[in-house]
Amino acid sequence: MRIDILAVIPELLDSPLNNSIIKRAQESKTAEIYVHNLRDYSDDEKYRRIDDYSYSAGAGMVLKVEPVFKAITHLKSQRTYDEIIYTSPDGEQFNQKSANQLSTLKNILILCGHYKGIDQRIRDHLITREISIGDYVLTGGELAAAVMTDSIVRLLPGGMGDETSALTDSFQDGLLAPPVYTRPAEFNGWKVPDVLLSGNDAAIEEWKMDQAFARTKKLRPDLLNDE
Ligand code: ADE
């Protein structure tokens, strides 16, 4: 899978994309991730400006239509994108289902929003999907793009060391994940539940399911009502 990210501050993506599983996924060519600087597409050679005042007074600075159009057109001339995503607090809410679905695509382009947003004409004519990572406002879309990319890439076949572990994530079956323990079996008088030391696989599976349900009911009852 290939992910192109158009950013105003590409440096914000350096660390999230160049460590751990996401780094390995790129090294093994499971994922190709390219971050592009929107300023490289500015017509303003001297100051590389890409924003301008809003026509609505007092609304703050807006990303200009020309550099974004130029950048997207350039990238689209090189390959076909399955989705051109704009990160914005007013987009559809990103969740595990969105990550699963996006991880099946071949090429996606993520445009990071900034300032008070982008010129609406870009959203109307070039963007195919608008995604928010939660009901709060970030300074820009780079961190949202990093969150989405991380959750998508770890799902790719070969993306994770333990191929089955994505299936046991929270949310993957509509439930939160059960608690996990490792050695020692007792620390400070705090004991690992007996069933996990029993060697009885069926009992352990049942315990995990019960725990997942109990946790979900207590912490996220809304998930049990979701279709
Ligand atoms: N840009 C600013 N806030 C955002 C959010 N919550 N999700 C996605 N992009 C954003």
| Domains of the chain with bracketed CATH | 2-153 (3.40.1280.10), 170-225 (1.10.1270.20)
Amino acid 162: pLDDT: 59
Å from CA of 146 to ligand 1 middle: 11
Nearest 5 degrees, angle CA 10-CA 11-CA 12?
A: 90
- Interatomic CA distance for residues 227 and 225, integer angstroms: 7
pTM (two decimals): 0.94
Amino acid 135: pLDDT: 97
Peptide bond into 184 cis (omega under 30): yes
Nearest 5 degrees, angle CA 138-CA 109-CA 55?
A: 55
Amino acid 166: pLDDT: 79
Ligand 1 close to Cβ of residue 138 (< 6 A): yes
Ligand 1 close to Cβ of residue 135 (< 6 A): no
Query: In the chain, which residues have pLDDT < 70?
Result: 159, 161-164, 227
Ligand 1 close to Cβ of residue 136 (< 6 A): yes
- Closest to 76 in 3D by CA, of 9, 148, 126, 149: 126
